[in-house]
Amino acid sequence: MALDNSPARIGRTIVINGEVKGSEDLIVDGRVEGTVNLSENRLTIGPNANVAADLTAKDVLIQGRVQGNVVAGGRVELRAGCNLEGNIRALRLAVEDNAVFRGKVDLTQGVTKPNDSPGGSQNGGAS
C-alpha cells in the first residue's frame, strides 16, 4: 500500500450528493453536493468541477467552481479561472490573477473545527 501515493479522484462524469469523508488526498473533477471532509489531507477541486459543498481539508486548491465555505488547517489556493462563492477560513491564502472570489476571509493562527463558537477567545490549554 505504501507504493500507491496518487490521490483518489472523482471524475468529471461522477455526481455525489451527500457527505464525502476520507483520510487521503482527493481530486474532485465532477459534481459534489453536500460536504467534503479531509481534515488531514489535500483537496483539489479540478478545472471541470462544479461543487456545491462546504469543504474542510488541510490544504485546498481550487481550479473550478465552488459554492460553499472553505476551512483549511493550512493553505487555500485560488487558481486563475476558478470561481468561489463562500467564506474562507485558513492559515494562508493565495489568489492568482483572474480568480473570482465572493465572500469573507478569516486568516487565523489557530484554525479550529467549524462547529466551534466563532468570536470566542481561547486563553490557555485544553479543557
For residue 123, give the 3-state DSSP assignment: coil
List the domain boundaries for the chain: 8-97
**What is the structure's pLDDT at 43?**
97
Q: Note the pLDDT tens digit of each residue in 67-121.
A: 999 999 999 999 999 999 999 999 999 999 999 999 999 998 654 555 544 444 4
Confidence of residue 1 (pLDDT cuts 50, 70, 90): very low
- pTM, full prediction: 0.81
- What CA dihedral angle connects 89, 91, 92 and 93, to 10 degrees? 0
Confidence of residue 125 (pLDDT cuts 50, 70, 90): very low
Mean pLDDT rounded to a whole number for the chain: 87
